[in-house]
Structure 1
Amino acid sequence: MVRLDKNEISFPDPAQYDGHEGIIAFGGDLSVERIWFAYQNGIFPWFNPGEEILWWCPDPRFVLFPHELKVSKSMRKILDKKVFTITENQNFREVIKNCREINRKGQEGTWLSDELIETFITLHGYGLARSVEVWQNNELVGGLYGIQVGKVFCGESMFAMVSNASKAGFIHFIETHKSDFTIIDCQSHTDHLESLGARMIPKKDFLKILHKNNERR
């Protein structure tokens, strides 16, 4: 692995460097400039707070092509009945804070430090990060957020306080923006997203798509 210099914003070329289990670098900082540069190059941070910052570009990459989205009959009924009200970019701060605080089965703690949260909030202010809010009875019960790099949406995290809330928000987002995004970067495998149509593709294919679509519209 390559140790990053805090005074220089650079990374190893992920197309040429495999690293260890997808980790291509460590160290550096969580500045807005470094985080944005990382996502533009298919790299994302994932680490335990208080430990060294780790930078990842796994091979293969877990992604969803919008036209391959799978919606079960039960979820379609929930969406058609408008069990939830879904908005976008209305409360980014609360969405990301809930993503940090929600308890997850088999997971202790969170990788979302205060510094990283503030960096993502700043990126949201620049129009580079987006959130989806899922409401029920005027209460925020689910949501997700991510980084937009041209026509690639890099999904970061989601949360749900009631059954199907995050899934409804994700499906709504994909169906609403299916012509806006070429690919959704899900980063690492989860059964939840696989059930919605996400699949693995080679890292080189993901990076090719990312660089081809890396233009703000």
Structure 2
Amino acid sequence: MPIRLPLLPADPEAPFPPAARAHPDPNGLLAMGGDLSPTRLLNAYRHGIFPWFSEGDPILWWCPDPRMVFDTAGFRLPSRFRRSLRGSGWQVRADTAFDRVVLACALQPRPGQDGTWITQDMMDAYGALHRLGHAHSVEVYDGRRLVGGIYGVGIGRMFFGESMFSGVSGGSKAALAGLCRILAGAGCPLLDAQVENAHLASLGGQRLPRPDFLAQVARLAAAPAPPGLWAPDRTDFQAARLAGPAGD
């Protein structure tokens, strides 16, 4: 039986349907249509909703239950990878190559996926959010080479992860760990990872029931953003620091 979805009105400030009306199968499908303007996107994220669709399809909006999240202060890399990081010369930075990170995420092969959901329209939309100061990236460099990255949307003390990539083995893990370190250090406790999968779960991602997630988003997104959250003195450091002390 075809799914009947609410069609969003043209006004980008129009409210989304209540998340409780999202379909259980596919999990979290809530509405369709609208646009990818900064106003619409920020309105969506403030309500725990995100766009996800393929090239040629209408814009689809999602709010799955449960939600995959990370406790930023409790994030911990696997012990073997931490040992390898201690000897690496990798460097973590933020907002130095946003467009390159998004493009690399779009080009990253994904098991079980044919193509990418990061269309040119999506790249343009998140690039606009970045220029307005709402979207951010964390990069991992080996010298001048970009070896990993992650990007997403920050509102108040809440961060919504969108996608990450590895140029070499472990690059995305280091980027995720770097993002969690930056957020935790500024008092941003929760990182949204959207849809549950085995890889995120293996890195410590937790399942949060949708009502609990939305309550957290309402509280954290309404809080003032920490001053200087994305300043270089907070976001430029050696990746070896993500490994913790030797013997840990």
Q: Same fold (TM over 0.5)?
A: yes
Q: Is the 8 A contact 2:183 2:189 kept in 1?
A: no
1:216 paired to 2:221: no
**1:112 deviation in Å?**
1.2
**1:206 deviation in Å?**
0.3
Which whole-Å CA distance do the structure 1 matches of 2:87 and 2:183 have between them?
21
TM-score (norm 1): 0.94
Which whole-Å CA distance do the structure 1 matches of 2:7 and 2:206 have between them?
31
Question: In percent, how many aligned pairs have the same letter?
Answer: 36
Q: 1:201 maps to what in 2? A: 208
User: Which structure 2 residues correspond to residues 1-217 of structure 1 after superposition, within 5 A?
Assistant: 1-8=5-12, 9-14=14-19, 16-20=20-24, 21-180=27-186, 181-214=188-221, 215-217=223-225
TM-score (norm 2): 0.82
Aligned Cα RMSD in Å? 1.5
**1:213 deviation in Å?**
1.0
Computing the radius of gyration from Cα coordinates, the structure with the larger value is 2
Which whole-Å CA distance do the structure 1 matches of 2:111 and 2:21 have between them?
33
Can you list the C-alpha shifts for 1:105-151, whole angstroms capped at 9, x where unaligned?
A: 22111111212211111111111111011112311121010001211
Which whole-Å CA distance do the structure 2 matches of 1:25 and 1:176 have between them?
33
- Residue ranges of structure 1 left out of the alignment (5+ in a row): none
- Give 3-state SS (helix, strand or coil) of 1:82's partner: coil
- Give 3-state SS (helix, strand or coil) of 1:62's partner: strand
**What count of residue pairs does the alignment treat as equivalent?**
216
- Residue ranges of structure 2 left out of the alignment (5+ in a row): 226-248
Can you list the C-alpha shifts for 1:43-77, whole angstroms capped at 9, x where unaligned?
A: 00001111111100001111111233132211212
Which whole-Å CA distance do the structure 1 matches of 2:86 and 2:95 have between them?
22
Which whole-Å CA distance do the structure 2 matches of 1:126 and 1:166 have between them?
25
AA at the equivalent of 2:224: R
Can you list the C-alpha shifts for 1:148-171, whole angstroms capped at 9, x where unaligned?
A: 121111000001121001101111
- Give 3-state SS (helix, strand or coil) of 1:103's partner: coil
